[in-house]
Amino acid sequence: MNQTAPDKSLSTANPSGRLVGALHWVASVLAVVSFALVGLTLFVPLGKTPNPGWPEAVLIWVATLTTLVSLARQLPAQNVLLAAAVIAFIGGTIHAVGAATAIPFGPFIYTDSAGPRIFNTLAWPMPLVWVVAILNSRGVARLILRPWRKVRTYGFWLIGITVALTVLFDAALEPFAAAVKHHWLWHPTRLPLTWFGAPVTSFLGWLVTALFILVFATPALIDKRRRRSANRPPDYHPLVVWLLAVALFAAGAATHQLWPAAIYCVAADVAVAIFAVRGARW
């Protein structure tokens, strides 16, 4: 999935680096196949099967795997696993609180199509959704900010743009998950503005949660091997995952004639791709 040259210090200098490179290749292929399969089911439904949501379940697991393996090419595996655990725990916990109390996202309920619940409260994919959204948004933010990576305020800008990209990702996910797949349903609120049922508080909740997550996860995501990281080529893998996910959401919206959502997803993909590629090639 990633077209850049592999980091030789990780892939050729030791067997573990070569293993990570091989896992990255396998995970990337599986991710592309999974995205294609879920996209195909939007146009050709599986029909009556015991578990019609299995392609989506496979996709979320494979997307998480390819995200973590890609990051492991740059950071020690223990750092990657620690960051993923922090993101999954905080994101999952806050989403569980949101499902039980309507705080901070607003009043919603999970449906049976969301799959089994953790502690009868949280739909099982949500911790993984947070991992995919946060880590790939951060990877895209690094591409966008690549020309300014030596600026003193780089870390603050990286967190801010990561949060913004995570909220953009959620805005694309919301119509797909709620209106197309019916994984959750929103209860009406007094707020006049909604996005396919989601109130404004939902996106404020994602913003605050993403910021809170990054405060605790960022230390594990900092590459302390400065000499190695300084000359490393840009990694397009997070950008590809981010774009494929939003493109899938656009396809789902289009199949249900949710044209504002489809247009938004396409516009977000184009804008993010332009800024990320421009930053990477600076």
Helix (H) or strand (E) holding 110: strand 108-110
User: CA-to-CA distance for 231 and 131, rounded, in angstroms?
Assistant: 27
Query: Judging by DSSP bridges, how do beta strands 198-199 and 184-186 pair with one another?
Result: unpaired
Write the pLDDT tens digit of every residue in 168-193: 999 999 999 999 999 999 999 988 89
- For the entire predicted model, the pTM comes to 0.91
Give the angle subtended at the CA of 127 by the CAs of 214 and 242, to the nearest 5°.
Answer: 70
Q: What is the mean pLDDT of the chain?
A: 91
Q: How confident is the model at residue 20 (pLDDT cuts 50, 70, 90)?
A: confident
pLDDT of residue 225: 67
Q: How confident is the model at residue 10 (pLDDT cuts 50, 70, 90)?
A: very low
Write the pLDDT tens digit of every residue in 103-113: 999 999 999 99
pLDDT at 45 over 90: no
Name the residue ranges covered by the structural domains of the chain. 79-280
Structure tokens belonging to residue 150: 């030596």
* Residue 204: exposure state from Cβ atoms within 10 A (0-12, 13-18, ≥19): middle
Residues in the chain: 282
Q: How confident is the model at residue 52 (pLDDT cuts 50, 70, 90)?
A: confident
Q: Are 131 and 264 in contact (CB under 8 A)?
A: no
Write the pLDDT tens digit of every residue in 29-41: 999 999 999 999 9
Helix (H) or strand (E) holding 184: strand 184-186
Instruction: For residue 187, give the DSSP letter.
Output: P
Residue type, position 279, single letter: G
Write the pLDDT tens digit of every residue in 107-134: 999 999 999 999 999 999 999 999 999 9
Instruction: For residue 102, give the DSSP letter.
Output: -
